Amino acid sequence: MANTMKRELSDIEATAQDTLRDVFEKVPFLKVKSIEREKDGIDIIVKLSLVDNKQILLVEVKGNGQPRMARDAVNQLIRYRNTYPDAYLIFMAPYISEQAAEICMKDGVGYLDLAGNCFISFGQVYIKETGRPNPFRTRRDLVSLFSPKSSRVLRVLLNNPGRVWKTQDLADESGVSLGQIANVKKLLLDREWIMKQDGFSLTAPWKLLEEWANVYTYRKNEVRNFYSLKSIPEIESDMAKVCKEKGIEYALTGFSGAARFAPAVRYIRAMAYVYNTREDVASLLNLKEVESGANVTLLGPYDEGVFYGTQMIDDVRIVSPLQVYLDVKSYRGRGEEAAEALLRDVIKPKWLKEK
């Protein structure tokens, strides 16, 4: 693993060299004299020739551009000033988050990522480019952070944002291994979304939820669509009764769940998670499976974590507001509106209360 990470960082540094050259060769009054790697412990040293001056750039390259890595890079670069007092400092990574960019600029350090976002300012040179999307969003750390097992940990943290967790307690509550907790903890620390104290607690739940929602879709579950002659309220009520009688684990989600938390939400399709017994529920409710015109959707959960934080409302089980938010957010239009209403009126007030 360590050797793989070293090779990946070496590849990033090689790409970083090309990116630096491309950026500066576009400035008419600049000439790139040399670009050297790994000299004096510095990842990259760039020597530039201006019209009547010379400039040295010291570049620190990291495998990711999250805030914690940016702080480490900035601190390292500032130490290099002991040897190169007149050098301009630049942090580089595959993609640099907005928060990481702010950290750099606050300390007078430039930044440049492989997506083309940058802020570089020295002498007569001023280069700024922002808003370019992250082309590396599917990279390994994101996949790991939002994997099924990791998602169990995130649900616990987001449903209890004010709590300070011990590692073992969080493992017990989320039902995952201590190793999994350590992995999630590192990824959240890199983003500075948790704070270490006597244990650790979530400090930026809205940022975590936003990034999760950007990569989540309810279609990662097994989706089956049905039609019933009954009304939506009747279908949901019957489902609750049948599942209770048969001991079947279920919970409403989607617009069915959103309407319980935000009554203004209107909808024409019932949606529910049903654990491992979807055939039985469909048969017991006399549902007919259809390819179009459905008014009932049953989801086979991609992980049992979707049931964390369920609650009873009017004798019907509902997934947590957090899970409802994730499920409706991936519906364009009305789904996004319902998600925002849920975030504004239910989720954020709870976070503020427990902070």
Do residues 95 and 113 make contact, with C-beta atoms less than 8 angstroms apart?
yes
Residue 139 token pair: 């990279």
Per-residue pLDDT, 287: 94
Q: Determine the Cα–Cα distance for residues 193 and 207; give it in Å rounded to an integer.
A: 8
pLDDT digits (tens, 9 = 90+) for 81-131: 889 999 999 999 999 988 999 999 999 999 999 989 999 999 889 999 998
Report the pLDDT averaged over residues 256-262: 93
Residues 6 or more apart whose CB falls under 8 angstroms from that of 233 comprise none
Q: Can you give the pTM of this predicted structure?
A: 0.75
> In the prediction, which pLDDT does 140 show?
60
Structural contact between residues 167 and 206, judged by C-beta atoms closer than 8 angstroms = no
Query: Can you list the domains of the chain with their CATH numbers?
Result: 2-129 (3.40.1350.10), 140-215 (1.10.10.10), 218-354 (3.30.460.40)
Tens-place pLDDT, residues 188-232: 998 899 988 788 999 989 999 998 998 899 989 999 999 999 999
Q: What is the per-residue pLDDT across 316-346, written as a single tens digit (0 to 9) for each? A: 999 999 999 999 998 877 889 899 999 999 9
Asked whether the beta carbons of 35 and 59 are under 8 A apart, the reply is no
pLDDT at 142: 64
Tens of pLDDT, residues 20-55: 999 998 888 889 999 998 777 899 999 999 877 899
* Angle between helices 67-80 and 98-106 in degrees, nearest 10: 20
User: Would you state the pLDDT for residue 2?
Assistant: 46
* Percent share of the chain, pLDDT over 70: 94
Contact between 193 and 202 under an 8 Å Cβ cutoff? The reply is yes
Q: How confident is the model at residue 278 (pLDDT cuts 50, 70, 90)?
A: low
- Taking CA atoms, 202 is separated from 63, 68, 102, 184, 226, in Å, by 24, 15, 21, 12, 40
